[in-house]
Structure 1
Amino acid sequence: MLDRLQGAKKFTKLDCKDAYNQVRIKGGDEWKTVFRTRFGLFEYLAMPFGLTNTPATFQAFIDKALGEFLDITCVVYLDDILIFSKNESDHEEHVRQVLAALQRYNLHLKISKCSFNTTEVNFFGFRINTEGIFMDPERIRFANFFQRFIKNYLPIAAPLLNLLKTGKNKKEIGVKVRQTNVVPPPFSLSKTALEAFKALKEAFTSAPLLRYFDKNKPMRVETDASAFAIGGILTQQFKIDGHLHWLPVAYYSKKLLATETQYGMGEQELLAIMEAMHHWRHYC
């Protein structure tokens, strides 16, 4: 989705106010939302938060409202709308078109969460500007979410991820696996785990800007394999100060299955190539 932003210089982010509540429940289906209180029975007239199909229903609704502009002048994820343009004059017209479409569908915005005509904006958990995508500092704590920014993420994080394997601990304390109200024993941090934490922290604080994929530029995929994980990097050539440089567009890593760890080194290297090409197949 964010690859559509390649070449954009101006951004506007819109946020729909109380998004799901703006969609009217189909007439005759209101009874399906009935709930009981001490004051009697009540039912929703507008779509409430918490229903299983609420996100999909709202996404379909807003996709219909903005269908003629999707992936051309705007991208949408649920109640967040990002309008992008290559220059300011086009951007003003694009914003007017999107706002008019929202008005036709009676969709309201929360102005305090909107950003207009800017060169840098937060969207979909990322920080976006005219050059590319980088991590939002406020979301650094969500490590798995930012795997694409970290080279060899899984090989680095493996000692920490192994701490999440609670099956053995639960067996030791005599509880059933399906129970969720039992507090597992505290982690026992080994020297290896502490070193992994420090390495991961360093990787996040020095994570590079990821460039937007450009189908008109040459691309290169490099892969690597270790005893327990494989990884890859997708780069493209960009001109900086008159010189061409191979810069990262995305990183990828995957933990090997138990059977895959038994492969020979050559087989693991070939597996890394295959998995990387499959992961980025939409760019081919």
Structure 2
Amino acid sequence: MMDASQGYHKIMLALENRERVNFITSAGTFRYVAMSFGLKNAGVTYQHLVDKIFHPQIERNVEVYIEDMLVKSKEAKDHITDPEEMFFVLRNYRMKLNQGKCAFGVQGGRFFGFMVTQRGNKANPLKIKVILDMKAPTNVNKVQMLPGRIAALSRFISKAADTSYQRAFEELKKYLTRLPLLVKPTQGDTLYLYLSTTPKLLALYLFGKKYVTKYQFTMLVKYSMEHKDSTLLSRKWL
């Protein structure tokens, strides 16, 4: 496993574009002559470069993602010739490596978010630990975070979506076609108040017979009882 050092600087900027990357210091105004970090599409441009120069090796004995490079050998005897081929390309294009981030002769390691081993790819234990340490989602933001964390491990989860998930999805689509109308109540309408309480939470929902009103009230019981600034209107429901 190898990591390129200052690889972006190997790509020279066109003369007509250098004036667009000026920067000011106490010593004066300067401009980049090589591609720097932070430029739009810099990562895509560098990926195109490494795909081009390592094209004969990619998928055969090399995998490259931006500055991360992985040399893979099927047999121990090839672990000398394969890196030699890689070093020849690096030397030919004057690319340097970050010595502190390189490892040679290892049987596995972390690459592109996965644990690569001689037997295959394993899930990253750190990503698993994040999910194991999670508490049950209690708000919209935490619920939205969960699918993203699961998606990072989805390829390792057998039957992540079976027929029960498909049925649930179809039921959701049917429900979305019958969503109630949100309107303000008019005088004389019959309204229904639904109350739900827990030791820490109080929620009120106001429904009409044929529609749902736009009124929804949720409050923390503990906050209401302990803080003087809570309104009398909210306290009368306790």
Query: How does the TM-score come out when normalised to structure 2?
Result: 0.58
Distance 1:222 1:21, change over 3 A: closer
For the residues of structure 2 that align with 1:160 and 1:23, how far apart are their CA atoms? 46
SS in 2 for 1:69: coil
- 1:128 is matched with 116
**Structure 2 residue corresponding to 1:56, chosen from 44, 60, 77:** 44
- 1:5 is matched with none
- 1:184 is matched with none
Instruction: Report how far residue 124 of structure 1 moved.
Output: 0.5
Deviations 1:66-97 (A, max 9, x none): 11111111111000011111101122111100
Residue 4 (structure 2) pairs with residue 19 (structure 1)? no
Equivalenced residue count is: 169
Residue 100 (structure 2) pairs with residue 112 (structure 1)? yes
Instruction: Indicate if the aligned counterparts of 1:119 and 1:129 stay in contact, CA closer than 8 A.
Output: yes
For the residues of structure 1 that align with 2:44 and 2:14, how far apart are their CA atoms? 15
Residue 52 (structure 2) pairs with residue 75 (structure 1)? no
Instruction: Report how far residue 260 of structure 1 moved.
Output: 6.3
- Between the two structures, name the one with larger relative contact order (CA 8 Å, sep ≥ 6): 1
Instruction: Report how far residue 255 of structure 1 moved.
Output: 7.4
Distance 1:256 1:162, change over 3 A: farther
- List aligned pairs for 1:128-207, cutoff 5 A: 128-140=116-128, 160=137, 163-164=140-141
- 1:237 is matched with none
For the residues of structure 2 that align with 1:257 and 1:24, how far apart are their CA atoms? 56
Q: Percent identity?
A: 24
- 1:224 is matched with 162
SS in 1 for 2:100: helix
Distance 1:83 1:256, change over 3 A: farther
Query: 5+ residue gaps in structure 1?
Result: 1-12, 144-149, 151-156, 165-186, 188-192, 212-219, 232-253, 264-284
Distance 1:210 1:131, change over 3 A: farther
User: Which letter does structure 2 place at the counterpart of 1:106?
Assistant: R
- 1:259 is matched with 173
For the residues of structure 2 that align with 1:44 and 1:257, how far apart are their CA atoms? 57
For the residues of structure 1 that align with 2:64 and 2:5, how far apart are their CA atoms? 15
For the residues of structure 2 that align with 1:221 and 1:107, how far apart are their CA atoms? 44
Deviations 1:77-124 (A, max 9, x none): 000011111101122111100111011111100111111121111100
For the residues of structure 2 that align with 1:24 and 1:161, how far apart are their CA atoms? 50
Instruction: Report how far residue 41 of structure 1 moved.
Output: 1.5
User: Which letter does structure 1 place at the counterpart of 2:116?
Assistant: I
In terms of Rg, which structure is larger? 2
User: Which letter does structure 2 place at the counterpart of 1:259?
Assistant: K
- 1:102 is matched with 90
Residue 72 (structure 2) pairs with residue 84 (structure 1)? yes
Instruction: Report how far residue 18 of structure 1 moved.
Output: 2.4
Distance 1:118 1:28, change over 3 A: same
User: Which letter does structure 2 place at the counterpart of 1:119?
Assistant: Q
For the residues of structure 2 that align with 1:85 and 1:161, how far apart are their CA atoms? 47
Deviations 1:23-58 (A, max 9, x none): 222344321211233432210122111111100111
- 1:278 is matched with none
- 1:271 is matched with none
User: Which letter does structure 1 place at the counterpart of 2:173?
Assistant: T
Query: 5+ residue gaps in structure 2?
Result: 178-238
For the residues of structure 1 that align with 2:61 and 2:169, how far apart are their CA atoms? 37
SS in 1 for 2:89: helix
**Structure 2 residue corresponding to 1:36, chosen from 16, 19, 24:** 24
